[in-house]
A and B are shown apart, each in its own frame.
Chain A
Amino acid sequence: RKEVEQDPGPFNVPEGATVAFNCTYSNSASQSFFWYRQDCRKEPKLLMSVYSSGNEDGRFTAQLNRASQYISLLIRDSKLSDSATYLCAVNVYSGYSTLTFGKGTMLLVSP
């Protein structure tokens, strides 16, 4: 099983829709979790951290489920500008601390 897994998509949604992505991780010792956004041919940019109690930032909500070992990202009222690839990242310590990324989920928001 891969360390961090995401559905590659693409998720095609109309403007205004609500869309959710999940990201599963295999290492139960994972310590911290993040969502990043990557536009085509650009570097990833931090979208939000994922806290145990959940985290909301405007139209974006991130949640963590440690029991089932997944994190989720919910986007409400999708905008055209939300079209991008969304990467989850998991911080794991296994002798040394590293940040492992999923392969990303592509979102396409259409008019």
Chain B
Amino acid sequence: GAVVSQHPSWVICKSGTSVKIECRSLDFQATTMFWYRQFPKQSLMLMATSNEGSKATYEQGVEKDKFLINHASLTLSTLTVTSAHPEDSSFYICSARGTVGTEAFFGQGTRLTVV
């Protein structure tokens, strides 16, 4: 399958700081990238859908000013968690898709711990 690289794989930050997570498609052009959050022993929760060059579409209940998503190129999307708080601690995973209707491939995920 296609390769999606997510960085960093884990991060610990202080409450109130911002954290940026990168998601790159290494061997294909990702017209769409998805960002998910997963709490322990819970299911994937879609946060937003991002198409290259457009504003991200956020799911209900996800604050767009807190979770800033940028998808400026066909191979890179970033998620910035602004003013992180302990309740933002979670596993954040991106996935990327080349063509509408096809499968998406996941990055390795980022485990965020806010202390």
Chain A residues at the B interface, C-beta cutoff of 8 Å: 31-32, 34, 41-46, 49, 87, 89, 91, 93, 96-104
User: Does B51 have its Cβ within 8 Å of any Cβ on chain A?
Assistant: yes
A101 touches B44 (CB 8 A): yes
State whether A32 and B101 are in contact (beta carbons under 8 Å apart), knowing that A43-B109, A96-B51, A98-B34 are contacts in the complex: yes
State whether A100 and B101 are in contact (beta carbons under 8 Å apart), knowing that A43-B106, A43-B107 are contacts in the complex: no
Distance in angstroms between the alpha carbons of A30 and B87 in the assembled complex:
34
User: Does B104 have its Cβ within 8 Å of any Cβ on chain A?
Assistant: yes
Nearest residue in B to A101 (C-beta to C-beta)?
Answer: B44
B44 touches A99 (CB 8 A): no
Distance in angstroms between the alpha carbons of A31 and B46 in the assembled complex:
18
Distance in angstroms between the alpha carbons of A101 and B103 in the assembled complex:
12
Stretch among B61-69, B77-85, B92-100 lining the A interface: B92-100
Give the top 3 A-B pairs by smallest Cβ distance, nearest first: A103-B43, A43-B106, A97-B100
Kindly list chain A residues whose C-beta atoms are within 8 Å of the C-beta of B95.
Answer: 44, 99
Q: What is the minimal beta-carbon distance from B89 to any residue of chain A, in angstroms?
A: 14
Kindly list chain A residues whose C-beta atoms are within 8 Å of the C-beta of B97.
Answer: 99
Nearest residue in A to B48 (C-beta to C-beta)?
Answer: A98
A34 touches B43 (CB 8 A): no
Q: What is the minimal beta-carbon distance from B97 to any residue of chain A, in angstroms?
A: 7
A93 touches B107 (CB 8 A): no
Contact with A along B31-45 (1 / 0, CB 8 A): 010101000001110
A101 touches B43 (CB 8 A): yes
Distance in angstroms between the alpha carbons of A82 and B91 in the assembled complex:
23
Kindly list chain B residues whose C-beta atoms are within 8 Å of the C-beta of A98.
Answer: 34, 46, 49, 57
B46 touches A34 (CB 8 A): no
A46 touches B43 (CB 8 A): no
User: Does B60 have its Cβ within 8 Å of any Cβ on chain A?
Assistant: no
